[in-house]
Structure 1
Amino acid sequence: MSYADFVWLLISEEDKRSATSIEYWFRCMDLDGDGVLSMYELEYFYEEQCERMEVMGIEPLPFHDLLCQMLDLVKPERDGRVTLRDLKRCRMAHVFYNTFFNLEKYLDNEQRDPFAVQKDIENDSPEPSDWDRYAAEEYEILVAEESGTEQLQEGSFEEGNDADEVLSTPETGDKSDKLVISDLSA
């Protein structure tokens, strides 16, 4: 997988609301390439989620019950057939895809207030995308790690250099070119 492919995968995973992501995940689920997600294909992917849930000690919802929920969510034009057009129209494709691909997000959605889902559908105000929220969270983690590393480095140099070792570079034997390694365990 190339770096560009990885970036598209990450964006598609974190923001399943965009048209590009909806198309990407549809292609992943459409195993036979006929442009329709059959009940067989939905069951195939849900079985994987069930195995993950059972490993975690969670009793999965029977497929028939889940299928009814997903069809109510998507409201396909033709019974028993979910098309790309249906998913783009329903505005809840992210919930649909997370049900089949992302166990953590599926379980989060299952724990949510049922009225919050309806509020999401009706809310037309500009909110940050799932990708924007993900990027902001990752940035906060990075900043916290960086400030923690800086504090650790500043603290080790302020305490004194008695724990530091000085090594000369073996290739040249030049004593002016020295590498300092700090013992951070002290």
Structure 2
Amino acid sequence: MDYKTYLDLVLAMENKHEPQAIAYLFRILDVGGQGKLTSLTLRYFYDGIEDKLRASDNDIPSFENVLNEIFDMVRPANPHYITLDDLINCGKGDTVINILIDLQGFWAHENREAFTSEIPDEAEL
């Protein structure tokens, strides 16, 4: 990887909520170059996260649960795969990318209820 490619990756990772960053990262996630993310592709990235979770002795959600959550978030036009347009239009593309390639992002998503329950309500302030 040359320096320019590295900078592109860093910028995309830091701006995952932007459509251009989602498009850049989608091209990386689309390992088959088919223009879509299938359950097999999602499994490939889940396995990498799962390996890291096993190493840290954390509870590991099943792939089926994660897959269903991702498809529920994205609501793709075709129920068998996710396209770049699906990922951008759903408004949760950054979350999906975090789940697939970032251990901290995956963990934050899986424990989002615990995080929100720790935040005091305005009435408590």
Q: What's the TM-score once normalised by structure 1's chain length?
A: 0.59
More helix per residue: 1 or 2?
A: 2
Q: 2:7 & 2:30 partners in 1: Cα distance?
A: 22
Superposed CA deviations along residues 112-159 of structure 1, whole A, max 9, x for unmatched, are 249x7xxxxxxxxxxxxxxxxxxxxxxxxxxxxxxxxxxxxxxxxxxx
Rg larger for = 1
1:66 and 2:56 aligned: no
Structure number with greater CO (CA < 8 Å, separation at least 6) is 2
After superposition, where does 1:3-42 map in structure 2 within 5 Å? 3-42=3-42
1:99 aligns to what SS in structure 2? helix
Runs of 4+ in 1 over 6 A off after TM superposition: none
Query: Identity, % of aligned pairs?
Result: 27
Tell me which residue corresponds to 2:50.
50
1:57 aligns to what SS in structure 2? coil
Q: 1:36 & 1:98 partners in 2: Cα distance?
A: 17
Q: 1:25 & 1:56 partners in 2: Cα distance?
A: 26
Residue 13 (structure 1) shift? 1.2
Q: 2:110 & 2:47 partners in 1: Cα distance?
A: 17
1:59 aligns to what SS in structure 2? coil
User: Which shows bigger deviation, 94-103 or 28-37?
Assistant: 28-37
Tell me which residue corresponds to 1:136.
none
Q: 2:111 & 2:16 partners in 1: Cα distance?
A: 19
Root-mean-square deviation (Å): 1.5
Letter in 2 for 1:94: D
Superposed CA deviations along residues 75-121 of structure 1, whole A, max 9, x for unmatched, are 0011111000100100101110111100012212222249x7xxxxx
Residue 19 (structure 1) shift? 1.4
Gapped runs of 5+ residues in structure 2? 117-125
Number of equivalences: 115
